Structure 1
């Protein structure tokens, strides 16, 4: 038997890919590459904790609420600790905006990047074994090094992102990210402890036949959204809604579709957070040829007014989002 058939190649590792592509980044001095490695490492640790959650009683609610008034899950807190610890030790981040913390964390160092992160999105689905994820955005620090973190470092619009990505913890664990030069996906191989390039140059289909929205709240949707949902029914689109943002987004990225979290009577500004959910996924989807809108404007151009600002989200295949927006 030929040697090549005995030992098939296993692909390009994340570390090797980052080094190879580092020169595409205009501030190519190594910090961003190390930052992505720190996030990937924390993702490995969180993946381990999630996979053994049912065995060691770290699933379920912890009995407290986060700044959004949402019940915190034990793994929310654990994931937050893991990512903050990894980013602190890495030294490349100077500040962290987290869904789990009311105020940003000033790491009091000379790091050049600000990280906005949802450490564990969809964590309420852990107990029923549904895919969940981590979402992150990377911004370049604006103020001079050696000075205190300024508001201008923190309150940057999505168009200023230098990198963004997500980790999906499911039947396999994936890291998908962009630095503004396309989107690439890496699948974690646990026996080797490495991420391998599995989805190079990801592009979302320009059109699709999947719509993802919680139709249980249909009566509280604004009229333009109701009209678009009727359009989806007329076109016999498939309704697919997991209730875990990363999982719904990832499926539509691969297959083509639209994810919607519109305004409702209860949440007139929408429910998803601009800084660490919508901006990251919008950067990714645009790099993959898709579109993201509030319904009335481009997500990446929204000027943030607060750390935990909420916005409506219509994101996915370009033609589907354009059609949805046209009803407004």
Structure 2
């Protein structure tokens, strides 16, 4: 039988058809993971619609509460969280979820399902008020607890190498869904008129070398000496400083153009700021599949042993040569 590795699907194929044709790439392929990816795409379409109406309806600004991280929740944070949880529950292929917006595991009631999902429903949501790109990040694991039982912490504490799929949805000048199942990275652009994601970026690969660096230079004096030295070297080389303040948008640009994104430890955030399970792990999986590297400064992100649902980590991610040079300076 012909496998997906022996042919290339053309640009313009719908996400549903692409998933169906590539199903043999999925571990334990039997349809459930395919449907789970479709459920995530559906939620992305709904969020895209909410975001596009943000200036016309009352969904911008603070919600008036904080999430488990102690960060102020935006109205769209709450909306996106609800929409994704609802889509995953109704889809029936996910038994449990962890979200940046919730302290504990969220149970879907589908204990027969074989997968769990870790997600940041809307990263960079404070940028909505100023019409800047934001995104969703997700990671999918095959559960390790028996099917039919209630999911436990063990299902989420498997480590980054055990992800069976990871991806993000970027809501910007166009809406894109980018994902990997460990067989390369594919990107899909949303056609609003047809309500479909279409394959637009095949076998996405990032340049080994880059000339863009992305960080919050407002924290420069708090960065480790090695990071400061790297930034100065970038300036000497006349590299471009590009920082949107929306992780998905910064990562996506560097993935396509060649660059490095970093959020090192600081006195205020000695363990880093970004969350390991639903920000660092999924982006690191995509990065490695696209020829990039992701490190916490000491080891590859995907090799970090998880210790908690909302564990944080420093991150240096992007063009391999740039990340290698950064690590050598730490």
Q: Structure 1 length as normaliser, TM-score?
A: 0.96
Across the aligned residues of Structure 1 and Structure 2, the Cα RMSD in angstroms comes to 1.0
2:327 to 318, 325, 328: 325
Q: Distance in 1 between matches of 2:11 and 2:36?
A: 25
Which residue in the other structure is 2:244 paired with? 242
Q: Distance in 2 between matches of 1:312 and 1:32?
A: 30
Q: Distance in 2 between matches of 1:122 and 1:225?
A: 24
Q: Distance in 1 between matches of 2:26 and 2:136?
A: 23
Which residue in the other structure is 1:59 paired with? 60
Which residue in the other structure is 1:183 paired with? 185
C-alpha deviation, 1:10, in angstroms: 7.8
Q: Distance in 2 between matches of 1:256 and 1:71?
A: 32
1:283 aligns with 2:282: no
Which residue in the other structure is 2:299 paired with? 297
Q: Distance in 2 between matches of 1:150 and 1:84?
A: 17
1:129 to 105, 128, 131: 131
C-alpha deviation, 1:57, in angstroms: 1.2
Q: Distance in 1 between matches of 2:164 and 2:148?
A: 21
Q: 1:1-328, aligned counterparts within 5 Å?
A: 11-109=12-110, 110-328=112-330
The superposition leaves residues 75-114 of structure 1 with CA deviations (integer Å, 9 ceiling, x where unpaired) of: 0000000000000011111110100000011223211111
Q: Which segment is superposed worse, 61-70 or 146-155?
A: 146-155
Tell me, yes or no, if the aligned pair for 2:185 and 2:204 is still in contact at 8 Å. Answer: yes
C-alpha deviation, 1:148, in angstroms: 2.2
Tell me, yes or no, if the aligned pair for 2:11 and 2:199 is still in contact at 8 Å. Answer: no
Q: Distance in 1 between matches of 2:325 and 2:144?
A: 37
Question: Deviating runs (4+, > 3 A) in structure 1?
Answer: none
Q: Distance in 1 between matches of 2:252 and 2:152?
A: 34
The superposition leaves residues 34-74 of structure 1 with CA deviations (integer Å, 9 ceiling, x where unpaired) of: 00000000000000000001101111101100000000000
C-alpha deviation, 1:223, in angstroms: 1.0
C-alpha deviation, 1:227, in angstroms: 1.2
Q: Distance in 2 between matches of 1:292 and 1:277?
A: 12
Q: Distance in 2 between matches of 1:35 and 1:161?
A: 14
Unaligned 5+ residue runs, structure 2? 1-9
The superposition leaves residues 210-254 of structure 1 with CA deviations (integer Å, 9 ceiling, x where unpaired) of: 000001100000111111111111211110000000000000000
Q: Distance in 2 between matches of 1:50 and 1:95?
A: 26
Q: Distance in 2 between matches of 1:10 and 1:261?
A: 34
Q: Distance in 1 between matches of 2:61 and 2:196?
A: 29
The superposition leaves residues 7-48 of structure 1 with CA deviations (integer Å, 9 ceiling, x where unpaired) of: xx9820000000000011131100000000000000000000
Q: Distance in 2 between matches of 1:30 and 1:156?
A: 22
Q: Distance in 2 between matches of 1:41 and 1:26?
A: 22
Q: Distance in 2 between matches of 1:148 and 1:11?
A: 40
Q: Distance in 2 between matches of 1:67 and 1:255?
A: 34
Q: Distance in 2 between matches of 1:26 and 1:57?
A: 42
**SS of 1:53 mapped into structure 2:** coil
Aligned residues: 320
